[in-house]
Amino acid sequence: MKVRYMAQMGMLAAISVVLMLFEIPLPFAPAFYEIDFSEVPVMVGCFTMGPLAGAGIEFLKILLNFAVNGTDTAGVGEFANFLIGCSLVVPAAVIYKRKRTKSGAVIGMAVGTVFMTVVGCFLNAFVLLPAYAKAFGMPMDALIGMGSAVNGYIKDLATFAIFAVGPFNLLKGFLVSLIVLLIYKKISPILKM
């Protein structure tokens, strides 16, 4: 059983890496905020194998992506992707594990989406954007300027988090949840064999 879980985790992480290659830019956020659907296989793995396995799939996804594609963000983007991805899938899986029904899945994904949005805003404002600016020797005003160039509501770090990071994470959580809701019951029997 352990070998099967490891193989499934690796397979789901590999699918996630492929999905990371297809990024969609958003009109309300700077170009470095692009939506991908790499959390879909992670969420499927969480629902099938549990929250700890989901965090493991998320970690493998980041390692594989780093090995295959390298980094454009000095590791900050990968670190952010791991933490914020886990903040979506782990709460959803914990709730679904306790209530294995469609409503349990919907509640779990809604809670995960809200949690991811809050964690994403906090981490971006206080950890990730300052780390990104420092890694590239860029003043925070330059990052905020990138945000205000595409979204006039962005004036400072707080408004950057509220008007770019927040909507980005809400949209990503909603879309990932919708896709998982549509496909999970059809593909979960394959993972449970």
Name the region of 101 (left: φ>0; alpha: ψ -120 to 50; beta: rest).
beta
Q: Which segments within 59-157 are labelled E, that is strand?
A: none
Torsion on CA atoms 38, 40, 44, 49, rounded to nearest 10? 30
**Structural domain of residue 174, as residue ranges?**
2-192
pLDDT of residue 119: 95
Please name the residue that has the structure tokens 């949209």.
171
pLDDT of residue 40: 96
CB-based contacts of 131, cutoff 8 Å, min separation 6: 76
Give which of 101, 95, 17, 20 is closest to 63, Cα–Cα.
Answer: 17
> CA 72 to CA 81: how far, in whole Å?
13
pLDDT of residue 193: 55
Given a contact cutoff of 8 angstroms between Cβ atoms, the answer to whether 13 and 57 are in contact is: yes
Q: What's the domain count of the chain?
A: 1
Q: Split the chain (193 residues) into runs of 10 and give each run's mean pLDDT.
A: 87 94 86 89 94 95 90 81 95 95 95 96 90 86 89 91 93 96 87 68
Indicate which CATH number applies to the domain containing 118.
1.10.1760.20
pLDDT of residue 5: 86
pLDDT of residue 106: 96
